[in-house]
Every structure is written in C-alpha cells, then in structure tokens.
Chains A and B, each alone.
Chain A
C-alpha cells in the first residue's frame, strides 16, 4: 500500500431515512497519516456520515465504501472495527451500569484460545491504559467501577482510551470536546496529534473551528448532506474558512 491509496474512500454514498435524505452522493477519501476536519452546521449529516463509515447505517443502493483500496461489501460495525476503524462517538457509546473494563473492551472482548473471557487481563489492561494514556489519578478509575460514577471528562477518557487500545488505522472523533473542561479538551487535542505522529489517520468533527483548524491537515465542509467544500489547510486561512462557512450557511453554496 502506498501513501496514495486512501485508508477509506466513500464513492457516491447517499443515505435516506424514509423521506429525509441525510447524505447525498458524498465522495470522500482519507489518506494515511492525514487528519481531516469535518465541518458543518447542525443537521448537515456529520453524524450520519460517521455512522455510515462505521457500518452502523447501510448506504443507499449505489454507494460504495473502499478500505485501503478494496471495495467492502457487507459492511458492519464489527467488521469495521476489526479492519481498524475506531470511533469516539458524540454520545460516547458507553454502557454506564457496567464496570470500566467491560466498557473498554465492549464488542472486542479479550478471549483465550478456548473462547473463555480473560477477565483478569481485561481488568489489568484497563488499569494500565487509564493511568498511562489518560493520566487518571482520580479515585473513580478503578476498572471495577461502574462508568456512571465517573465525571464527564473521565467518561470521555474511557471512550478515547478504548479507541486507542485497538491501534486503529483510522480514528473518528465525533465532537469529542463537547462538555469537557479546558484541560480535558487540551488532552483530547494532544491525542489527535499523537494519532498523526504515529502515522495513522483521523477524522475530527467539531463545531468549533478554533479547535479544528490548528489540529488538521485538510477540512471538508458538509452542508445539507452534500460535500460543500474541501480545503487543504495551506490553501485557506482561518478567516477565509470562517467567511466561507457563513456563506455556505446562508446560501448553501461555497462559491461567491
């Protein structure tokens, strides 16, 4: 695989829910080692796009998803995660009554060769990850603690650490900084830089252009289910970006 082969490529992906068309003919490709910001107003289709990439939603007839140059048929979440795509969802996707270790390994539990769950290992790995990667020192992070006893930032920490553990090729962060304190936000942004340093890719979705712009290599603007703009960071200043975002919101078109 050379660096010109996208990690993931969407060709003509549309998604219709009943009468509502959430995505229409979206074409996107993400290259290795690239951080792509995905911008768009509420209802632009960002979350739908993420869930389609993850296989949670099935694209409409005619849409194709390619992973590392191979067309994927029969896409589903378990398969997407197995191939190396992890998502930190806006809604965090935690099971709050369950202990941290169950959440950390949700859907990808560690088993021994007889298929028996290795609970001890999952607990010790959870402890290690929480302290090494998230630097948690609070009393709430023992692996046996139920997630509902944790603070918002700690919950986000569980979701981020989970994505990190599986060495994903592509990490998708859907509004990861919502509801976080300043220091937690900084930690999250550092995490995104670490993804890039290790040569992997990320899609970073946020409302806040001031978070997105410094962190990414490229920005895709989504509007009403369509790709309205695709900019390399070197081609556009933050002010120009903000200006064009306003224009898109007003007119639905990126061009003057």
Chain B
C-alpha cells in the first residue's frame, strides 16, 4: 500500500509538504514547552523532580484547559468568546438552585449543561444574526450572564459538601491512578473528542473553511452561520462542565466563579498555535499550551522568584510564541 503510494507520488513528481511546513507549528509549541520545563527543572530542581508538582498541574490546569480546548474551535472560525467565565457561573448556579430545590443531582447536572449550551448558542445567534463582532457582543453577554447569576444567587455562594454529592464529586474531581485528579482525564477526553469533531467530521471541516475564507465557503455551500452557532454552543457546554468541575474541586460554588480564568484560556489557545486570523489551529496545541501556562504559574513560585514576576514571564512566553508563529507561517508562504 505504502509502496504503491510512493510510486504514484514519483510518477506525478509530487512532493509532500516538508516536515517544517506540516509540523513546524506543533514542533515549535512542544519545544517551548520542553524548554520551559528544563528551565524549571534546573532552577527549581527540588520541586520539579518530585511528583507533587505534576499532581498539582493535573488538578489545576484542567480548570481553564477544559474551556481553552473548545475555545480553539471558535478562534479557528475567526471569532472569540469572552463570556465563558460568566457561563460557567450561571450554569453552576443552575445546578445549585435545582439541586437545592428538587434534591435530584442528575436533573441539576443536565440542566446546568443545557443552560451552558443555550448561553453559548445565544452568543452564536447574536453574532450571526446581527453580524456583530463577537469580541464586542460577548463582552455584553458576559455582563448579562454574570448579572443574572449574581441576582439569582443574591450574591452568595453555596456549599457543595452534602453527602449525597459525594458520588458526582468523586466522578468529576476525585483522585485515581497514583493520585491524579479526575479532571485531568476529563481534559484528555475533551481533547480527544474535540480532535475527532474538528478533524473527522464534516462540521469540523467546515470550521476550518469558515475561518479561512467565509465567502469562498459560502459560495461552495457551507452554512457558515450555522457552523459558528454550533461552535459557540459547544463552548457553552464545556463552560458549564468546567464550572461544575471547578466548584466541586473546592466543594463550594462561589458566585464569582470563573473570574481569572479568561486570560489563561485565551493565552493557551494562542500559545497552542491557533491563528488569530482564523482558519488554522489544533486542539492538541491548545492542550500543550494550557499546560505551559499552568507550569509558568507553578514554576515561578517553586523557583523562588517573586510571584509578582509571574506575569512578566507569562507575557514574554506568549509574545515570543506568537512571534514564532508569525515567522513560521511567513516561511510557509515561502
């Protein structure tokens, strides 16, 4: 089979794209990650050679990685979502309210996912129906969703320590296999599922086409608005799930849930090689990007550097990777 393919290639004198063209971006992301890790292993060898710090990554990074991964799809279509932290909170509030009202965990759980998905779909509808840039409209919906949640909860949190909740808490954030947090496995699962959706379904193919050249895609019969609405709905679904995970991780639903995760998620997407102009991106890149962001946070502290330097480091890594992306993609265009 492979021999046949080779001879065919030779007959056409067609060469596959070079290694750099195909994997340059991925290679770059992994290099940044490994380079960072080596720095930390040298500067904070005690912390970075014990397994505790990796267990800590596995429990804290998924809180934003679970949203960075679906956000990748939205960015590939050339849009952005800034409202997902608020969707996290509103969906988890739905769970808390329904659970305290009915005592039924799974009704609350499913209602939370439905509310998240609907919030996302609402974003997508506003973006596509009115043609408003998502950067602007999701700032608006962010305040709207957060406002509804705060008013509904009257600004107060809810403890999630009920014995009846132990089962679902264990499922979401329990520890398994040498103490690795379950949310790490959920993140792996999310990466696999969204990889499949992006690379092996027609919807995924249309995500790339929509972000690359909207008019061309429309001329060839791609319903670009439907594609965008669906990416926003997927985002909402995962935001709701991440909200439940983050709340069960601390056994408490804070009404401010999600604040502080926005920039981490967005940074992970761009660090992961997804183009800010749309049309190009990978969920595996975002996965690695998330863990690089997580490692910076922990590594700075473990290296004994003043924690105020975290953001300096953060900024440098992001700027360097985006420059690297620009250089690589320019070389691709020969």
A interface vs B, CB < 8 Å? 51, 54, 56, 76-78, 80-81, 87, 89, 91-98, 102, 105-109, 111, 115-117, 119, 127, 130-131, 136-142, 144-146, 148-149
Contact = CB atoms under 8 A, between A and B. Distances in A.
Given A136-B12, A142-B14, A144-B17, A89 B202 contact: no
A64 to B, nearest CB: 21
B12 A93 contact: no
B12 A141 contact: yes
Contacts of A141: 12, 14
A77 B15 CA distance: 34
Residue among B22, B199, B213, B223 with the most chain A CB within 10 A? Answer: B213
Interface string B165-204: 0000000000000000000000000000000000111101
Contact of B17 (A78, A87, A142): A142
Interface string B215-227: 1111111110000
A138 B279 CA distance: 26
Residue among B206, B216, B279 with the most chain A CB within 10 A? Answer: B216
B14 A93 contact: no
A140 B13 CA distance: 9
Contacts of B280: 97
Given A97-B279, A115-B201, A149-B333, A131 B12 contact: yes
Given A78-B223, A142-B16, A145-B17, A56 B205 contact: no
A126 B199 CA distance: 17
B164 interface: no
A232 to B, nearest CB: 31
A93 B208 contact: no
Contact of A117 (B17, B202, B279): B202
A97 B200 CA distance: 18
Contact of B219 (A89, A127, A144): A89
Given A98-B208, A109-B205, A139 B15 contact: yes
The 3 lowest CB-CB distance pairs between A and B, nearest first, are A95-B212, A77-B221, A78-B221
8 contacts: A94-B213, A108-B220, A117-B204, A119-B200, A137-B14, A142-B15, A146-B17, A146-B332
Contact of A96 (B8, B9, B200, B212): B212
B11 interface: yes
Interface of B: 8-9, 11-17, 21-22, 199-202, 204-206, 208-209, 212-213, 215-223, 279-280, 332-334
Given A102-B205, A116-B201, A127 B14 contact: yes
A80 B208 CA distance: 22
Contacts of B9: 127, 142
A127 B17 contact: no
Nearest to A81: B221
B200 A117 contact: yes
A137 B12 contact: yes
Contacts of A94: 213, 216
Contacts of A106: 205, 209, 216-217, 220, 222
B279 A95 contact: yes
A245 to B, nearest CB: 28
Contact of A98 (B17, B209, B334): B209
B219 A56 contact: yes
Nearest to B11: A131
Contacts of A108: 220-221
Contacts of B218: 56, 77
A95 B333 contact: no
Nearest to A111: B202
B126 to A, nearest CB: 23
Contacts of A149: 17, 332-334
A80 B12 CA distance: 33
Contacts of B15: 139, 142
A116 to B, nearest CB: 5
Contact of A54 (B14, B208, B219): B219
A144 B216 CA distance: 19
Residue among B8, B21, B200, B334 with the most chain A CB within 10 A? Answer: B200
A190 B21 CA distance: 35
Nearest to B212: A95
B8 A127 contact: yes
A95 B14 contact: no
Contacts of A137: 12-14
Given A78-B223, A127-B8, A148-B333, A95 B201 contact: no
